Amino acid sequence: MYLRHTVRRKDGKTHTYWRLVRSVRRNGKVVQETVAQLGELDAEGRAKARALARAMVGRASQHGLFEDLCCDATAVPVQLNRVRLERGRSFGDVWLGWTLWRALRLEEACEEFLPEGREEYAWSLLAAVLVVARLCEPSSELHIAESWYRATALEDLLGLPSESVNVDRLYRALDRLLPHKAAIERHLVRRLGELFALDYDLLLYDVTSTYFEGLAARNPLAQRGYSRDHRPDCKQVCIALVVTREGVPLGYEVFPGNRVDVTTVEEIVETMEARYGLADRIWVMDRGMMSAENLAWLQETGRRYLLGTHRGDVKKWSREIAAATDWKTVREGIEVKLCAGPGGKETFLLCRSAERREKEKAMHERFAARIEAGLASLARRIEHARSPLDRGAIERQIGRLLERNSRAAGRYTIRLLQDTTQISKLRLSWSARPEWNDWARWSEGCYVLRTNIADWTPETLWQTYIQLTEAEAAFRIQKSDLSLRPIWHQRPDRVQAHILVCFLAYVLWKTLEQWQRQAGLGSSPRTILRELSRIQSTDVILPLADGSRREMRLRCVVRPDKAQALLLDRLGLRLPQRLRTPPGISKM
């Protein structure tokens, strides 16, 4: 990455705006991609970042980068031709992950929940290893123990020797951590609220699935069901996640892989309210959670909601959608119309999107073309058949063709008739229904929302519902960036512990995202972690020139380059210059 600036003159003043950019290869070409808009890097922005950093790391002030550790430096003679470097370790990313872990006070929480016993090293340290590893380089416990941990500077940061980090200890740490899931979630809700003044009055709820590699025969939660990962051949579990409007997680639950989404709503709502209180919250859910039973339950219990409706509900509002009046633009390409529901208890928001219209139009055209090509092929086969064909088999083929292209199946009227010239032969004919074409023309790109909130504007309702993308993004980040899938564990408790570690890593991820947003660094934690991972720690070996064979070992952190230093400055962080070396090896 490197810096670029743009100079602009306005009102007789010169302004220099900075961007952090990187070069990426796309379609065989190298292009510049903006990582973050840094603005003018003014003193006020740096002060805000440092204030947040103080709240995060709990220190009133920090020393400057690479200043002298002491004023009274002692000069010693060194043999320059024998100076060497040893023990290069990845430092920047794990140091940032460890900083986030401490900023959320998970170190204190785990020490409370996982008290020391007869173990040589605290379980809270092993928990930190698991979560920081999941954040920085998602991998198996075996990979952590055999190669990842000893290639990082976590040993220096945690004081946990690499030879003490083995698979057995990591698995036992998973077992110790899992029983405290609910207590950890409550701790995180309090701490995140302190750091970022989060608002928990509006909660977004969604469900995803993640699949197993292996039979998972001993896990009753591992079942086959609707796979969001397009792996119906694998068993899976369903994960229900509740997040705030900023995408910060409040909690999650794990359900069997064959659990239908609509059956989870009541359980999740009651679980979260029992854990965090019966506040006047608003629940936002997509159409997958929509059912008559859930709607009746939400209304009877007096809970406030904003729900997406099924596609079939669009037809109920065909007259209002077709009308050209009362539509209001809430964003470029998005129009909405507010309609009162029957009885006045609910409000319906009709929405139509130009971008979504083009997408659905292309889908209809593609599926229609497939249906017509399939029908034409089947008609030719029927026409050239030398022997009578089974009518039932032909009808089943037509049914499968329409099922595979269901979005355009209603467009056609299909008839399988006896050929008037040859009674033993069949004839296939079809035609497009004009009323379906009319319906598609004005309904494409339309969807309907329903709510019992009476005092919100159409703009607020639509913008709130669109925030469900934060829940979808949470699943995407956990699956892609944090490697939630696939699950290799086979024991039920280890599966639950794996999901908990991924959840904690996602909390660290969102903490970093909130932090960098407030520091004006965009919203790409992976970019920050990848860039800082290039900062290493290393041992500088200084052979003394005093006639002895002694050597001095200094464990130092490599000086960041300009772009890295700018990132750290915007975050209000300062790297340590030196790390502590274990007693007995600093001088040899």
Domain count, the chain: 2
Are 216 and 340 contained in the same domain? yes
Asked if residue 560 is part of any domain, the answer here is no
Are 324 and 420 contained in the same domain? no
The tokens of 203 are what? Answer: 């909660």
Are 237 and 269 contained in the same domain? yes
Are 233 and 340 contained in the same domain? yes
pLDDT (0 to 100) of residue 579: 84
pLDDT (0 to 100) of residue 350: 95
CA angle 57/527/62 to nearest 5° reads: 25
Asked if residue 381 is part of any domain, the answer here is yes
Are 221 and 304 contained in the same domain? yes
Are 412 and 332 contained in the same domain? no
Q: Encode pLDDT of 352-361 as tens digits.
A: 999 999 999 9
Using an 8 Å Cβ cutoff, are 17 and 8 in contact? yes
Handedness of CA 518, 520, 524, 526 (dihedral sign): negative
Q: How many residues does the chain have?
A: 588
pLDDT (0 to 100) of residue 11: 67
What pairs with residue 202 in β-bridges? 282
Are 384 and 334 contained in the same domain? no
Are 336 and 207 contained in the same domain? yes
Q: Encode pLDDT of 238-290 as tens digits.
A: 999 999 988 999 999 999 999 999 999 999 999 999 888 877 789 999 999 99
Q: State how far the Cα of 556 lies from the Cα of 360, in Å rounded to an integer.
A: 58
The CATH number of whichever domain residue 268 belongs to comes to 3.30.420
Last residue of a domain, one of 407, 425, 443: 443
Asked if residue 367 is part of any domain, the answer here is yes
pLDDT (0 to 100) of residue 64: 37
pLDDT (0 to 100) of residue 62: 40
3-class DSSP state of 303:
coil
Are 251 and 297 contained in the same domain? yes
How far is CA 228 from its chain centroid?
15
pLDDT (0 to 100) of residue 583: 59
pLDDT (0 to 100) of residue 587: 47
As a whole-number percent, the residues of the chain with pLDDT over 90 amount to 61
Asked if residue 289 is part of any domain, the answer here is yes
Asked if residue 243 is part of any domain, the answer here is yes
pLDDT (0 to 100) of residue 67: 40
- The secondary structure of 464-494 as a DSSP string is HHHTHHHHHHHHHIIIIIS---SB---SHHH
Using an 8 Å Cβ cutoff, are 140 and 488 in contact? yes
Asked if residue 140 is part of any domain, the answer here is no
Residues of the chain with pLDDT under 50: 60-69, 71, 586-588
Half-sphere exposure of 173 (CA within 13 A, CB side): 26
DSSP state of 384: T
Are 389 and 298 contained in the same domain? no
Are 235 and 366 contained in the same domain? no
Using an 8 Å Cβ cutoff, are 111 and 173 in contact? no
Using an 8 Å Cβ cutoff, are 235 and 257 in contact? yes
From residue 246, give the alpha-carbon distance in Å to each of 200, 220, 510, 519: 10, 34, 9, 16
Are 482 and 424 contained in the same domain? no
From residue 158, give the alpha-carbon distance in Å to each of 110, 185, 344, 373, 578: 14, 23, 60, 65, 15
Could you list the residue range(s) of the whole structural domain that residue 361 is in?
A: 356-443
Asked if residue 113 is part of any domain, the answer here is no
Asked if residue 472 is part of any domain, the answer here is yes
Contacts of residue 327, Cβ cutoff 8 Å, sequence gap at least 6: 335, 336, 337, 352
Handedness of CA 189, 191, 196, 197 (dihedral sign): positive
Q: Encode pLDDT of 110-139 as tens digits.
A: 999 988 777 888 999 999 999 999 999 999
